[in-house]
């Protein structure tokens, strides 16, 4: 029954967002959040009936990867104390529906060195590369011991997966394979995603580079933007990014767009380069999003934050991601299923036509489009927060032994 409920809830939550109202919509009004909450009334009623007698559900989130900050600060809109991003220990609390969340993160969150006084834990891990997998495995072995000694009862994992979707290492820990992890939320288009015990989770913005929570402003919505498009990034040899640069130079499109490239990837931003990048997003109508190792990139979500429409290279990258026999939406299944208002192209040769059309769009239409994008992005995050909570409640509470 528990898995059936999760599936039916997931179908409700993945329905396409409603179309926007008109000029009156204001992206920073609290009314919008209340409206989103109302949309989940039916699904929450189903859960409340199935978990009658439980008035308090507590979950602790252990953030051991930077993606945890996207979940907590961007999706949950939670605060952290202290606000200093370099602090050894940071924590926060939030209530979603009837679930009380606490969140801990920082270098001082080390296995065995903090008290565990909750039954339900969500562990956020980085499994992108070999060294990270080793570290993540140590955490899972620690949590496995806590489950075996009945210190905790239920465990879910949010995983920054490998960009080629090679995540075999975590399989042995999943409950379906005799392990203790009941639910897995995984980033990238993993073929494991079944909306029963494995769910897709968004990559989000680059919190590890201190990309902030962006508040919408009047000028962000209404000002004329001086650039048609932007691309600030690394150019890899023999990649589609190189093809993109050739097209930009061919028709001198790069004079209409903010283009700044480098040949070597840099993991950290300086304050100056981050401000420069944010300025480019704010001053461009479109943001070009070529594929990297994976189709999904931070740039997509960062562009949404500033109302700059992502122009996404909609092609599957090499590796084990996606399964076109199961879903014609691969890649970016999650974004597409939630009606992302992006421009999807298969080849950068299509870009000149896109930009020619862009030149004909008047400011008033662009303002409406920005509102629609910002509205959609807020809706996307709200739905994910509710979906995440509903899935945890239905799975953990249904599987309670007592």
CATH of the domain at 320: 3.40.50.2000
Residues 264 and 220 in one domain: yes
Residues 287 and 251 in one domain: yes
CA–CA separation, 388 and 186 (whole Å): 12
CA–CA separation, 74 and 381 (whole Å): 8
Contacts of 268 (CB under 8 A, 6+ apart): 209
Contacts of 224 (CB under 8 A, 6+ apart): 363
Q: What's the pTM?
A: 0.85
Run of H or E including 276: helix 271-282
Given a cut of 60, whether residue 18 has pLDDT beyond it is no
Domain end residue (candidates: 135, 167, 201):
201
Eight-state DSSP code of residue 15: S
Write the pLDDT tens digit of every residue in 45-83: 444 444 444 447 999 999 999 999 999 999 999 999 999
Residues 147 and 225 in one domain: no
Inside any domain, residue 401: no
Given a cut of 70, whether residue 23 has pLDDT beyond it is no
Domain end residue (candidates: 139, 174, 201):
201
Given a cut of 50, whether residue 302 has pLDDT beyond it is yes
Give the model's pLDDT for residue 188: 97
Given a cut of 60, whether residue 155 has pLDDT beyond it is yes
How much is the average pLDDT of 234-255? 87
Inside any domain, residue 304: yes
Give the model's pLDDT for residue 323: 64
Give the model's pLDDT for residue 386: 98
Residues 144 and 119 in one domain: yes
Give the model's pLDDT for residue 84: 95
Residues 300 and 357 in one domain: yes
CATH of the domain at 90: 3.40.50
Which segment of 152-166, 187-201, 326-340 scores lowest on mean pLDDT? Answer: 326-340
How much is the average pLDDT of 123-130? 97
How much is the average pLDDT of 116-130? 96
Residues 308 and 343 in one domain: yes
Inside any domain, residue 25: no
Which segment of 140-144, 235-239, 322-326 scores lowest on mean pLDDT? Answer: 322-326
Residues 299 and 161 in one domain: no
Eight-state DSSP code of residue 291: -
Residues 370 and 228 in one domain: yes
Give the model's pLDDT for residue 172: 98
The percentage of residues in the chain with a pLDDT greater than 90, rounded to a whole number, is 75
Give the model's pLDDT for residue 305: 98
Give the residue with greater pLDDT, 17 vs 144: 144
Give the residue with greater pLDDT, 265 vs 80: 80
* The dihedral sign for the CA sequence 173, 319, 189, 133: positive
Given a cut of 50, whether residue 204 has pLDDT beyond it is yes
Residues 318 and 244 in one domain: yes
Give the model's pLDDT for residue 268: 64
The percentage of residues in the chain with a pLDDT greater than 70, rounded to a whole number, is 83
Domain end residue (candidates: 201, 224, 247):
201
CA–CA separation, 226 and 267 (whole Å): 29
Mean pLDDT for the chain overall: 87
Inside any domain, residue 181: yes
Residues 226 and 328 in one domain: yes
Inside any domain, residue 50: no
How much is the average pLDDT of 93-102? 95
**What is the span of the domain harbouring residue 224?**
209-378
What are the tokens at 181? 């992890």
Inside any domain, residue 80: yes
Inside any domain, residue 37: no
Number of domains in the chain: 2
**Can you give the C-alpha Rg of the chain in angstroms?**
21
Inside any domain, residue 347: yes
Residues 164 and 263 in one domain: no
User: CA dihedral defined by 358, 369, 218, 273, rounded to 10 degrees?
Assistant: -60
Which segment of 44-48, 138-142, 290-294 scores lowest on mean pLDDT? Answer: 44-48
Residues 215 and 190 in one domain: no
């Amino acid at each position: 029954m528990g898995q059936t409920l999760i599936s039916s809830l997931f179908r409700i939550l993945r329905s396409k967002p409603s179309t926007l109202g008109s000029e009156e919509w204001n992206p920073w009004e609290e009314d919008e959040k209340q409206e989103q909450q109302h949309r989940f009334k039916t699904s929450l009623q189903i859960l409340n009936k199935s978990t009658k007698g439980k008035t308090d559900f507590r979950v602790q989130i252990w953030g051991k990867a930077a993606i945890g900050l996207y979940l907590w600060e961007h999706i949950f809109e939670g605060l952290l104390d202290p606000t200093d991003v370099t602090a050894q220990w940071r924590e926060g609390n939030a209530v979603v529906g009837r679930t009380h969340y606490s969140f801990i993160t920082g270098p001082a969150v080390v296995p065995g060195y903090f008290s565990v006084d909750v039954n339900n834990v969500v562990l956020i891990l980085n499994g992108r590369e070999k060294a990270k997998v080793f570290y993540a495995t140590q955490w899972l072995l620690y949590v496995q011991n806590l489950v075996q000694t009945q210190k905790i009862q239920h465990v879910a994992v949010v995983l920054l997966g490998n960009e080629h979707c090679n995540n075999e290492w975590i399989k042995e820990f999943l409950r379906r394979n005799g392990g203790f992890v009941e639910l897995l939320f995984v980033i990238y288009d993993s073929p494991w995603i079944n909306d029963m015990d494995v769910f897709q989770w968004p990559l989000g913005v680059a919190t590890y580079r201190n990309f902030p929570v962006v508040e919408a402003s009047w000028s962000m919505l209404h000002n004329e933007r001086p650039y048609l498009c932007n691309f600030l990034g690394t150019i890899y040899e023999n990649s589609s990014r190189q093809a993109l640069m050739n097209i930009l130079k061919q028709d001198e499109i790069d004079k209409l767009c903010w283009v700044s490239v480098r040949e070597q990837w840099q993991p950290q931003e300086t304050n100056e380069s981050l401000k420069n990048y944010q300025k480019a997003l704010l001053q461009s109508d479109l943001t070009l999003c070529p594929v990297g190792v994976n189709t999904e990139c931070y740039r997509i979500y960062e562009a949404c934050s500033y109302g700059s429409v992502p122009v996404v290279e909609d092609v599957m990258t090499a590796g084990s991601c996606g399964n076109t026999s199961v879903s014609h939406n691969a890649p970016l299944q999650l974004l597409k299923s939630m009606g992302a208002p992006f421009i999807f192209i298969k080849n950068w040769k299509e870009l000149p036509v896109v930009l020619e059309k862009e030149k004909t769009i008047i400011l008033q239409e662009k303002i409406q489009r920005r509102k629609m994008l910002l509205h959609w992005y807020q809706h996307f995050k709200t739905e994910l927060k509710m979906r995440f909570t509903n899935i945890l409640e239905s799975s953990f509470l249904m599987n309670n032994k007592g």
